[in-house]
Structure 1
């Protein structure tokens, strides 16, 4: 659940107008592990069926999937096992996954083929750019962000992907009534997400007490999460509906 290139040095200013050659702050670091043989074969053999190449042009999602259906987009799907499980469990919906780490993309393709899933498309690219350039306005029913990099050091909090500007950019891609679903195992990040979302224009918290929700059944319980539960670690789910 991470995104793509090494961020600029903390001691450099972030103002792109004064530093024209600096990239904008990234919410992720590219930790590119070595591909296994299986992952490499999956990319070579199945990218044409599942993969979508990045280009700065809006997609026709009905054409992409060959039908009109509810659409779920997941940002940072890791190795893809949970995403594939969700797609298999909901064949009437279409799923879009975005991940920058090639081994994870390869693993996701391999799992999708093994499970016979055909309602899934995958990007290997920066989610912020895919959302901005390729996803049409009001085309998504759900956006999922599960266990993103928490950037736990305070000086790195500005790199957390859940920030006001990102939330508003994402909001325009959701249909009215669409849901932004987040989950994290870092309590401080959960508090940060809650603060940002409570202040975000156009969203309503689906929690009865305006805080967190119970994990919904459609979000699979990962091995990582199960291990954390055994160790007494918490997990916080947040679900906010677009209302305007």
Structure 2
């Protein structure tokens, strides 16, 4: 019997997959509950999974990876879980800064930082500065992020520029607003992946993902492997993306 060929492209294969992948990392709590452990145990397991996926990006031609770490709606969770997540973010940044810098990963954060504590904001700023000259992988972490909130904040800044005379209102078109979004320096995502079997976008990158391809998979985030990531990137390479046009 012949062996089943590996669907994951080797690092020497010219990349045909997505340049920018965005991931809704869902299922940490359920993963922990299935094991009789508290939800924060699942979040810690999920944080470890991030490193593996970031390291895999260059092998699959992924230059940009954006991950949804904490949404504007996640404040509705219990105080204990929210506090635990904020502590996890601080610990992740402290522990991973050296590794990310050495691996050539540039880190950016998107979202509204106003509600975050001063220590976390300081660590975020330090990590962005420490990795500012890296370019192997561009990792964007969405914390206290919501797509509607982002568009509202961007529109507010745009309106201020119109009111102050910096921007001609007659010049505003669909190319204008993206310059005010948190992601203004990033390309739009080619592929959005959501783990855990839920089939919704949960207010994530609403403007940017207008023409993204989506993959909703059953795997819980802590079980999401490099191999599955590679398979999804390879599958993307076979899609016919017409952006509203038709084949000649």
More helix by share: 2
Is TM more than 0.5 here? no
Structure with max Cα Rg: 2
Considering Cα pairs closer than 8 Å and 6+ residues apart, tell me whether 1 or 2 has the greater RCO: 2
Query: TM-score by structure 2 length?
Result: 0.31
